[in-house]
A and B are shown apart, each in its own frame.
Chain A
Amino acid sequence: MLLEVEGLCVNYGHIEAIRDISFGVPEGTVTTLIGANGAGKTTTLKTVSGLRKVRAGSIRFEGKDITSIEPYNRVKLGISQSPEGRRCFIGMTVRENLEMGAFTRKDRKTAAYREDLDRVLGLFPRLDERIDQIAGTMSGGEQQMLAMGRALMSRPRLLLLDEPSMGLAPKLIQQIFSIITEINEQGTTVLLVEQNAAQALKRSHDAHILETGSIVRTGTGKELAGDPAVKAAYLGGDV
């Protein structure tokens, strides 16, 4: 297991957003969390990246306990997040945003860095075309690509994606999902949060269903996609 979450509880004041959840993300997989609005998906990802403190439970990454490590130090360990709502640095150019993604890297002047930049720009040719554009003036879809590209620039072992398809046109959704598969095939483990359950389940190895802060179902992507109860609750007819 690359990531192991055990007995995790997270509160906002008195609200229990996450109640005792445990799951793992095996190395090399795409693992997906699906669930209704407010189920606690974002909270789970934020806790993995360190933005939220745990009330109880532990998080292990590559076997090492990282529960109390600050978020800015988790990046160095190889955890990178593309946050909900993209959160690009809107006053910076595309290039500067990508450079921010590589903030912790010491090799920014080397060929290896250049190669990673080329790889990201290869995944998202649109970013290459707009490399000197101010991020705030880009479309929602372009900003989503930038947020993902930025997260890749730290060369993460584990990439956390929070609803990358949110607000995108169907064609672009297809494209984003195939890029996620491509990223995964290039060797990055992905923990994905999605509302677009049909697409997400089709492309993930493992999946967990969250309901009001608890995991209620676990299975492979295929199993859950074919499960009648899951179909009724999350796939809402065919997509």
Chain B
Amino acid sequence: MNFEFFFNNLPELTITGLAFGAIYALIALGYTMVYGVLQLINFAHSEVFMYGTFATLWTVIALNAADANGVKLIAILIVALFASMALSALIALALERVAYRRLIERDAPRLIALISAIGASFVLAELMGLRDRIAGWFGLDDDLSEYVGKARINNSMAGTLEKPRFDVGGVSISSIDIIVIVAAVGMMVLLDQFVRRSRLGKGIRATAQDPETASLMGVNPTRTIQVTFLIGGLMAGVAAFLYMLKIDTTKYDVGFLLGVKAFTAAVLGGIGNLRGALLGGLVLGVAENWGQALFGGEWRDVIAFVLLVLILLVRPTGLLGESLGKARA
């Protein structure tokens, strides 16, 4: 074990870990909110995130961010953020409509919806992974391949963004990490307030707790479910944008590992609990990064899941327990 490296770099390792954790947390929100309302794990949520990364990538390339700087660069990034949120939200809403609504309306067992989710996840991933062939059917192959990159390999926007680091008391900090952490935590706080205070948010909580009684209050369950998917999609879109700022590279199957990690974060914090998703994400991100420094990079994922198992042994309902419906305002 590399204790010397670990202790010499503890602040840097922690900040990078928090940045990863913040991204997990944003994705985890989608799992946790849908679970809170439907008691359903939306396994295709990882693909909602994946489409966001491509929306970011394509926007940055199409608007030529590499040659831009200053205000223009910031404008391009804002466009990319909105594109990512829009595409992710669209995919999330489409999932709800195509993969779940009929099943939920007919009270199908949750296991059936789960199979539907896994199927939808494969379909969405492969649509992206085979996009050059699909484009080929329309005779677009050559035009597109150069522009959007080859479908089944890493697609990168590396080099388009400068990522200045700055020094605080001898600790070198990446500006991107700080942006990621602040943006993610800010979004979570906004969402938390929305769910606690707004009328629509209360409708979501009421539906999570008791859908039948909520409908007696005038809450339209289908609308509420849609809003829940929409929020999850928007948050995954933000996560995807931040992920691309940090990592630069994406691929049609990028959602798989990120999705599993985010799902882990949600369970770690207490599935159905918004604040739990944030806490679970941050704990997971930091633990992974510390573990990686101590044991080596190949242990990263092992540590994540050992941590999950250990915490669930002690606290089976996760760190914060409680579901969305029971969450106290």
Q: Chain B's nearest CB lies how many Å from the CB of A135?
A: 10
Question: Is the C-beta of B210 less than 8 angstroms from some C-beta in chain A?
Answer: yes
Cα of A150 to Cα of B212 in the assembled complex, Å? 15
A100 contacts B328, C-beta separation under 8 Å: no
B210 contacts A89, C-beta separation under 8 Å: yes
Cα of A99 to Cα of B327 in the assembled complex, Å? 16
Cα of A91 to Cα of B203 in the assembled complex, Å? 13
Question: Is the C-beta of B325 less than 8 angstroms from some C-beta in chain A?
Answer: yes
Contact with A along B238-254 (1 / 0, CB 8 A): 00000000000000000
Question: Is the C-beta of B1 less than 8 angstroms from some C-beta in chain A?
Answer: no
Q: Give the residues in chain A near B327, CB-CB below 8 Å.
A: 91
Contact with A along B181-220 (1 / 0, CB 8 A): 0000000000000000001001101100110111111111
Question: Is the C-beta of A104 less than 8 angstroms from some C-beta in chain B?
Answer: yes
A71 contacts B209, C-beta separation under 8 Å: no
Q: Give the residues in chain B near A89, CB-CB below 8 Å.
A: 205-206, 209-210, 213, 325
Q: Which of B209, B218, B322 contacts A72, CB < 8 Å?
A: B218
Which of B203, B214, B217, B325 has most A Cβ within 10 Å?
Answer: B217
Cα of A80 to Cα of B216 in the assembled complex, Å? 7
Cα of A96 to Cα of B199 in the assembled complex, Å? 10
Question: Is the C-beta of A75 less than 8 angstroms from some C-beta in chain B?
Answer: yes
Question: Is the C-beta of A76 less than 8 angstroms from some C-beta in chain B?
Answer: yes
Interface size on B, residues (CB 8 A): 23
Question: Is the C-beta of B102 less than 8 angstroms from some C-beta in chain A?
Answer: no
Cα of A154 to Cα of B219 in the assembled complex, Å? 12
Known A51-B212, A71-B215, A72-B218; contact A93-B329, beta-carbon cutoff 8 A: yes
A91 contacts B328, C-beta separation under 8 Å: yes
Q: Which of A75, A90, A96 contacts B202, CB < 8 Å?
A: A96
Q: Give the residues in chain B near A87, CB-CB below 8 Å.
A: 210, 212-213
Which residue of the partner chain B has the closest CB to A150? B217
Cα of A81 to Cα of B199 in the assembled complex, Å? 20
B217 contacts A75, C-beta separation under 8 Å: yes
Q: Chain B's nearest CB lies how many Å from the CB of A121?
A: 18
Which residue of the partner chain A has the closest CB to B322? A91
Q: Give the residues in chain B near A51, CB-CB below 8 Å.
A: 212, 215-216
Known A87-B210, A89-B209; contact A72-B220, beta-carbon cutoff 8 A: yes
Cα of A76 to Cα of B218 in the assembled complex, Å? 7
Known A89-B205, A89-B210, A103-B203; contact A81-B329, beta-carbon cutoff 8 A: no
Q: Which of B212, B217, B220 contacts A100, CB < 8 Å?
A: B217
Q: Chain B's nearest CB lies how many Å from the CB of A147?
A: 9
Q: Give the residues in chain A near B203, CB-CB below 8 Å.
A: 100, 103
Contact with B along A58-102 (1 / 0, CB 8 A): 000000000000111101100011010001011111001001110
Residues from 314 to 328 in B contacting A, C-beta threshold 8 Å:
322, 325-328
Question: Is the C-beta of A138 less than 8 angstroms from some C-beta in chain B?
Answer: no
Q: Give the residues in chain A near B218, CB-CB below 8 Å.
A: 72-73, 75-76, 103-104, 154
Q: Which of A83, A96, A108 contacts B216, CB < 8 Å?
A: A83
Residues from 260 to 295 in B contacting A, C-beta threshold 8 Å:
none
Q: Give the residues in chain B near A83, CB-CB below 8 Å.
A: 212-213, 216
Q: Which of A73, A76, A96 contacts B329, CB < 8 Å?
A: A96
Question: Is the C-beta of A49 less than 8 angstroms from some C-beta in chain B?
Answer: yes
Cα of A212 to Cα of B214 in the assembled complex, Å? 29
Which residue of the partner chain A has the closest CB to B220? A72
Cα of A135 to Cα of B329 in the assembled complex, Å? 12
Question: Is the C-beta of A173 less than 8 angstroms from some C-beta in chain B?
Answer: no
Q: Give the residues in chain B near A73, CB-CB below 8 Å.
A: 218
Question: Is the C-beta of A2 less than 8 angstroms from some C-beta in chain B?
Answer: no
Q: Give the residues in chain A near B220, CB-CB below 8 Å.
A: 70, 72
Cα of A136 to Cα of B323 in the assembled complex, Å? 14
Question: Is the C-beta of A235 less than 8 angstroms from some C-beta in chain B?
Answer: no
Which residue of the partner chain A has the closest CB to B203? A103
Question: Is the C-beta of A131 less than 8 angstroms from some C-beta in chain B?
Answer: no
Question: Is the C-beta of A179 less than 8 angstroms from some C-beta in chain B?
Answer: no
Q: Chain B's nearest CB lies how many Å from the CB of A163?
A: 15
Q: Give the residues in chain B near A101, CB-CB below 8 Å.
A: 217
Cα of A154 to Cα of B215 in the assembled complex, Å? 13
Cα of A233 to Cα of B55 in the assembled complex, Å? 71
Cα of A114 to Cα of B282 in the assembled complex, Å? 42
- By a beta-carbon cutoff of 8 Å, the part of chain A in contact with chain B is 49-51, 70-73, 75-76, 80-81, 83, 87, 89-93, 96, 99-101, 103-104, 108, 134, 136, 150, 154
Given contacts A83-B213, A87-B210, A92-B202, 17 further A-B contacts (CB under 8 A): A49-B216, A70-B215, A72-B215, A72-B217, A72-B218, A83-B212, A91-B205, A91-B322, A93-B329, A96-B329, A100-B202, A100-B214, A103-B199, A103-B206, A103-B218, A103-B219, A104-B217
- By a beta-carbon cutoff of 8 Å, the part of chain B in contact with chain A is 199, 202-203, 205-206, 209-210, 212-221, 322, 325-329
10 A-B pairs in the complex with CB atoms less than 8 angstroms apart:
A50-B215, A72-B218, A75-B217, A80-B216, A83-B213, A91-B322, A91-B326, A92-B206, A100-B202, A100-B206
Closest A-B pairs by Cβ, 8 of them: A104-B218, A91-B326, A75-B218, A87-B213, A103-B217, A103-B218, A71-B215, A72-B215
